[in-house]
Chain A
Amino acid sequence: MKIAVLVKQVVDVGSVRIESATGEPKIGGSPVMNTSDAHAVSEAIDLRETTSGEVVSLSVGPRSAREELIEALATGVDSAIHVVCEELERSDSLSTARAIAEAVREEGFDVLFSGQKADDFGTGQVNLQLAEMLGIRHLSNVTTIMAHADSIHVTRDADGFPEEFDVQTPVLLILAPRDDAPKRHSSLRGMMQAKRKPVREVEPTVPMNSALTWTEPMAQRVSADRVLLEGEPVDEAAAKLASWLREHRLVR
């Protein structure tokens, strides 16, 4: 079975701090692999282990996105395809999906995995639009996956109700978000092996542009009259909060 997994390099949203004067977000840390993509990598490797075959990780993004592909290789992915695009933020979901579609159309993947959306600027559109362009089905909010001889048994969460399907390949499986999603960690041995695994770099064969313009992100909630008490005696702080709550008619 030939399995692909979509991986995106994203801003570490946990490292974002808001400049209180301007409302401008400042990014503190280095880029990371999108949380739900790490989950997708883990599920893709699990499926390969029960079926045999190979897992290829795919990413569109700047040169630096190679780091996330190497990370995926170090946790057990077999090879990678990197569609190199320095200005991903200037590309809309249609261009991005088209660039991936062109890069993978000839590969003949049986199963593609993705997370639901990217942590940073995610639209939750690229994965579905890729499936539409490849002319394959998708199942979203997937919770469990079991391989059978000629189909894959998938459970998905339909707004709280489980739905079960036996799906034929090719198919895109979009995983349900989970706080405790399994994630594989790379070992030293894995990292050594990753260096010898193939990463194929390709240029996008379609123009990367956007029909939409996005403004620079700004914090929407800059509370001008925010109160922050630090180092106050406990009783005084509690009394101040109690009267603030009464003032704003938040208690009876």
Chain B
Amino acid sequence: MAPGNRVLVLAEVMGGVIIPHSHEMFAAGMAIAEGLQVPLVLGLVGTDQDEALANIGTLDGSIETVTAVVDEGEMLPYEAWVDATSELVRSVDPHIVLASGTSFGNDYAPRMAARLGLPMASWVTSVTVDDQGLVVTRDVLGGRAETAIRCNSGTPFVISLEPGTIDPSPIGDIAAISLSDVFAELAPTSPGSQSTAHRKRLMGADRIVSGGRGMRSEEGVALIEELADVLDAAVGSSGAAVLMGLSPHETQVGSSGEVVRPKLYLAVGLSGTPQHTFGMRESQFIVAINKDPNAPIFQLADFGIVGDLFEIVPALIEALKKPA
């Protein structure tokens, strides 16, 4: 399949609603189309696109929209999506295809690429165009490093974004909401313990204090919570703290918990396993307190203190309470 010249964004529409991640795909698609100086085609894939189109309002006149109605019938939903999107890609004949990086997108997009025989890069965290064309980056080695990827096969190139890594721009007049906005607005419905009921939610929090295995006991947990209160921060935890029964699962940050991007992430008594750092490494500022100077979390930290949290945290609370 020879590449055409357009950028195709496969926006996900569920029951007439354009899902938030699609606005991130749209932002990336616009950046690529501008960089390559080619037209953007907005594909609306899913159900009730008429309603979605009506909601979009005014769309930049240079953007063509195409729709693919998914007939799920007897099939598993992703199977119908592989059929519908493969057909759409064939008919649009694009240069670049942006597929969805949601858990649903991860179910259909690699199969679509295989059916069409196209190269694909998933978990993309940035897109740039230089004089040799599109270059995308993604994380490797458990988030410790990143790599830049180019497509040189002379075929269309399929990419999917890691959700939450590219600032969304609105499709038409619909407000561009991001996934973290959605989570932040959800009421704290967790049936967790009394002590967590009043706590700030992780998603959408500006500041997060997370505790790990080093908290050891209820006493450690109380210290972390006190520090969080002083900083007006949400409380997070590592998988190890959850497994030890110190922290409720809904506070877990990482690949089996929440993925967060606060301004400040203060990691206390946690080593920074790849599973954990997956969920917090995009934070703007990272601070780590750990007694092991070789803990990998220090490689991510902007400010680190090697020491015992049971000594450092009380001293920090005192220092923060004092007027500057």
Residues of A within 8 A of B (CB): 11, 13-14, 16-18, 20, 23, 25, 92-94, 97, 119-121, 123-125, 128-129, 131-133, 137-141, 158-159, 177-180, 210-221, 223, 225-232, 234-235, 237-239, 241-246, 248, 250-252
B121-A212 in contact (CB<8A): yes
B213 within 8 A of A: no
Interface status of B299 (Cβ within 8 A of chain A): yes
**Which of A129, A137, A215, A226 is within 8 Å of B147, CB to CB?**
A215
Which of B63-71, B87-95, B311-319 touches A? B311-319
Whether the Cβ atoms of B303 and A133 lie closer than 8 Å is no
Task: Evaluate contact between B122 and A18: CB separation under 8 angstroms.
Answer: no
Question: A129-B111, A137-B76 are contacts. A250–B207 as well, Cβ < 8 Å?
Answer: yes
Would you call B274 and A180 a contact (CB within 8 A)? no
The residues of B that contact A94 with a CB separation of less than 8 Å are 113-114, 117, 119
Asked, given contacts A124-B110, A245-B320, whether A159 binds B79 with beta carbons under 8 Å apart, the answer is no
CB of A128 within 8 A of CB of B110, answer: yes
Known: A119-B274, A212-B119, A230-B306. A252 touches B232 (CB 8 A): yes
5 CB-based A-B contacts, threshold 8 Å: A124-B123, A179-B256, A219-B144, A219-B146, A250-B231
Majority secondary structure of chain B interface residues (helix, strand, loop or mixed): mixed
Contact A120 B281 (CB under 8 A): no
- B287 near A241 with CB under 8 A, answer yes
Q: A94-B114, A125-B120 are in contact. List 19 more A-B contacts (CB 8 A).
A: A13-B274, A23-B145, A129-B110, A129-B111, A132-B82, A140-B106, A179-B240, A179-B254, A212-B121, A217-B144, A218-B146, A221-B281, A228-B304, A232-B305, A234-B307, A238-B305, A241-B305, A244-B303, A245-B264
Q: Does B81 contact A (CB under 8 A)?
A: no
A30 to chain B, nearest CB (A): 15
Contacts A125-B110, A217-B140, A250-B207 given; indicate if A211 touches B145 (C-beta within 8 A). no
The complex places the Cα of A203 from the Cα of B159 at a distance, in Å, of 30
Chain B interface (Cβ < 8 Å from any Cβ of A): 76, 79, 82, 103, 106-107, 110-111, 113-115, 117, 119-123, 137, 139-142, 144-153, 155, 207, 231-232, 239-240, 242-243, 254-256, 263-264, 273-275, 281, 285, 287, 293, 296, 298-307, 311-312, 315-316, 318-320, 322, 324
The answer on a CB contact under 8 Å between A128 and B273 is no
A residues less than 8 Å from B307 (CB atoms): 229, 232, 234, 237
| A230 & B147 in contact (Cβ 8 Å cutoff) | no
- Beta-carbon contact of A133 and B123 below 8 Å: no
A250 touches B113 (CB 8 A): no
Chain B residues near A137 (CB-CB < 8 A): 76, 79
The reply to whether B113 and A243 form a contact with Cβ atoms under 8 Å apart is no
Q: How far is the CB of A225 from chain B (nearest CB, A)?
A: 8
- Give the distance to chain B from A68, nearest Cβ to Cβ, in Å: 18
Known A-B contacts A211-B153, A238-B319; A219 and B303 likewise in contact (beta carbons under 8 Å)? no
Task: Report Cα–Cα, A242/B320, bound state, in Å.
Answer: 6
Give Cα distance in the complex from A6 to B114, angstroms. Answer: 18
A229-B305 in contact (CB<8A) = yes
Q: Are B145 and A217 in contact (CB under 8 A)?
A: yes
Contact A217–B114 (Cβ < 8 Å): no
In the complex the two chains form, is A226's CB within 8 Å of B140's CB? no
CA distance A218 to B243 in the complex (A): 32
A237 touching B114 by the CB < 8 A rule? no
Known contacts A18-B145, A211-B151; decide if A128 and B122 are in contact (CB<8 Å): no
Selected from B111, B121, B150, B239, the residue in CB contact (under 8 A) with A179 is B239
User: Do A131 and B111 have beta carbons less than 8 Å apart?
Assistant: yes
**Interface pair A212/B151, CB less than 8 Å apart:** yes
Give Cα A18–Cα B117 distance, bound, in whole angstroms.
36
Tell whether A228 pairs with B110 under 8 Å between CB atoms, given A179-B243, A216-B147. no
CA distance A241 to B293 in the complex (A): 17
Cα distance A227–B123 in the bound complex, in angstroms: 30
Pick the residue among A25, A214, A232, A250 that contacts B263 (CB under 8 A). Answer: A250
Which one, A18, A97, A120, A213, contacts B140 given CB within 8 A? A120
Given the known interface contacts A13-B144, A213-B152, A241-B319, the answer about A226 and B103 at a Cβ–Cβ threshold of 8 Å is no
**Which residues on A sit within 8 Å (CB–CB) of B142?**
13-14, 16, 119-120
Q: Which residues of A contact B111 (CB under 8 A)?
A: 128-129, 131-132
CB <8 Å contact, A178 and B256: yes
- Is the pair A251, B239 in contact by a Cβ cutoff of 8 Å? no
- CA distance in complex: A18, B300 (Å): 10
A138, B322: Cα distance in complex, Å: 58
